[in-house]
A and B are shown apart, each in its own frame.
Chain A
Amino acid sequence: MPEKSIVLRTDLLSRSIQNRKLVDDITVEVRAGEVLAVVGSSGSGKSSFLRLLNRLDEPSSGTVFLEDIDYRTIPPCELRRKVGMVTQRAFLFPGTVYENLQFGPKQRGEELSENLAQELLDGVGLSSYLMRDVTHLSGGEAQRISIARALANTPSVLLLDEPTSALDDESKSGVEGLLHDIIRKRRLTCVMVTHDVAQAARMATHVMMLADGRVIKEGTVKEVLHA
């Protein structure tokens, strides 16, 4: 079986703030269709690492290669379209669900048709929500919309920053199941930050464990979590 191509590669990626290393020389590869879970305790540098991947923060040293291209050569808007992100809390913009789904495509002058928007909503289990105002959504529904909104940009890589940690138990299992299905169906390449090791075991193909910004273990789920 031919080896899958490398979609995302970090090369000695570091970020320091006031002489404190948040991310320390991380080199890792994510191949097409893989789900890399980044685990570690609070303050281990998981979210800081994720923010470097779509350049919301600037690395102090090192870089990231997206499909073999140094991401510093890609315009930030284009890079962030290709590397989508779902955050812990869904920040929906005022207006309807449809307007939120249209946001990404609109930024590059494209129109998201109602049919495509409906398909995205069907995918996140909120078929009848297209024209609803976002102010009336529950936390779980809002997170599902933020997943659909990120997918509307057709990203090459999806970054998930603790996507279920702000939800109640019922919504949490629903959103996790949904993400699991979407990732498998769309064969998405993902980097997911989670403090929940069980969730990482359920969703990931590979795991990277961080402590004080450094990689302390890396490998398949079995190698890292069940060793």
Chain B
Amino acid sequence: MLNRLFTDQLQLGLAQSAVAALLVFVVVLLGRWRKVHLEREVAIALVRGLVQIIAVGSVLVVLLRGPQWTGAFLLAAMILAAGAISTKRAKGIPGSLLVSTCSIACGSGSVIAIMTWLGVIDTAITSLIPVGSMLIANAMNTNGLALNRFRSDVLAHVGEIETALALGASSKQSIAPYVQASFETSLIPAIDSLRSLGIVWIPGLMAGMLLSGSRPIYAAIYQFVVIAMIFASSSLTSLVSTMLISSHVFTSADQLLLRPGNGEIGTQAKKA
């Protein structure tokens, strides 16, 4: 129907965005009915997402014609932004920005570097940026899930953690079950993506390759390669992230810093 109303592609795109945003708001209103208040957060996220993607699209037009080093520059900027975004899931944990950025850089950066070196990812910016951004974005989501689960688990189990400490356990031992649970939970979306590949969803990359004339079998295999890379980079990110963040909730004398109330962080001296 919209195709008939708008002949200009840009106008059509904006109209499609408005309809998609409206759909999101209907769902948010349904959530409000269940006393889940996400209106403000979703509205900001939608506007921000639209502005960002249009801005990136405009910049990409220029950068995709530029020298190859701009690819590495863009990916580095994406990693920094991903770190800043996913650190919000670790509210109240000191050093979470550094942990998030380092984990995403380590997880997605190493997979991008190795796979580019092996020739799995083409060094052309038109290939490197879309594939690289997929790895970074998924690493960011995994990191956010891991930190969120870790934070809520620690806050819900302060008694158990301090009991373990009081029985002579080290900080690492006292928190081990929650680190493990955070790691496992954060990987659920990546595992499900791998499981449902081709059955429940046919990802955009494969569709794009088919549209650009690639052989269907190669497009399918390459899509598997990308999903496997996403899984590897997400797992590595979560592994590093949960390992690093666990040391940030204790003082050097193994005293728990993350406590319920008052911004969650207790008043122990960070370096007791």
Given contacts A17-B267, A89-B159, A91-B159, contact A107 B169 (CB under 8 A): yes
Q: Does B165 contact A (CB under 8 A)?
A: yes
- Whether B167 and A87, one on each chain, are in contact in the complex, defined by CB atoms closer than 8 angstroms, is no
Which residues of A have CB within 8 Å of B256?
56
Determine how close the nearest CB of chain B comes to the CB of A109; give it in whole angstroms.
11
Question: What CA separation (Å) do A89 and B159 show in the bound complex?
Answer: 8
Q: Does A14 contact B (CB under 8 A)?
A: no
Question: What CA separation (Å) do A80 and B256 show in the bound complex?
Answer: 14
Given contacts A57-B268, A58-B251, contact A93 B166 (CB under 8 A): no
Interface hub of A56, A58, A103, A108 (most chain B Cβ within 10 A):
A58
- Whether A108 and B159, one on each chain, are in contact in the complex, defined by CB atoms closer than 8 angstroms, is no
- Whether A87 and B163, one on each chain, are in contact in the complex, defined by CB atoms closer than 8 angstroms, is yes
Which residues of A have CB within 8 Å of B160?
91, 93
A16 to B, closest residue via Cβ:
B267
Interface hub of B163, B173, B269 (most chain A Cβ within 10 A):
B163
Q: Does A55 contact B (CB under 8 A)?
A: yes
Interface band, chain B: 20 to 34
Given contacts A58-B269, A93-B160, contact A104 B253 (CB under 8 A): no
Question: What CA separation (Å) do A91 and B164 show in the bound complex?
Answer: 9
Which residues of B have CB within 8 Å of A81?
167-168
A149 to B, closest residue via Cβ:
B167
Given contacts A55-B253, A87-B159, contact A104 B269 (CB under 8 A): no
Q: What is the size, in residues, of chain A's interface with B at 8 Å between Cβ atoms? A: 26
Question: What CA separation (Å) do A78 and B256 show in the bound complex?
Answer: 17
- Whether B168 and A77, one on each chain, are in contact in the complex, defined by CB atoms closer than 8 angstroms, is yes
Question: What CA separation (Å) do A89 and B163 show in the bound complex?
Answer: 10
Question: What CA separation (Å) do A93 and B253 show in the bound complex?
Answer: 23
Q: What per-residue 1/0 map shows which CB atoms of A86-125 lie under 8 Å from chain B?
A: 0101010100000000011001100000000000000000
Q: Does B153 contact A (CB under 8 A)?
A: no
Interface hub of A18, A104, A149 (most chain B Cβ within 10 A):
A104
Interface residues of chain B, those whose CB is within 8 Å of chain A, are 159-160, 162-170, 173, 251, 253-256, 267-269, 272
Task: Given A58-B268, A93-B163, A107-B173, output 18 extra A-B contacts at Cβ < 8 Å.
Answer: A18-B267, A54-B166, A56-B256, A58-B253, A58-B269, A76-B165, A76-B170, A77-B170, A78-B168, A80-B166, A80-B168, A84-B167, A89-B159, A91-B160, A107-B169, A107-B170, A150-B167, A153-B167
The 7 A-B pairs at the shortest CB distance, nearest first, are namely A81-B168, A91-B163, A85-B166, A58-B272, A104-B167, A76-B254, A91-B159
Can you list 20 A-B contacts with CB-CB less than 8 angstroms, sorted by A residue number?
A18-B267, A56-B162, A56-B165, A56-B166, A57-B255, A58-B253, A58-B268, A78-B168, A80-B165, A80-B168, A81-B168, A84-B167, A87-B162, A89-B159, A91-B163, A103-B167, A103-B169, A108-B168, A150-B167, A153-B168
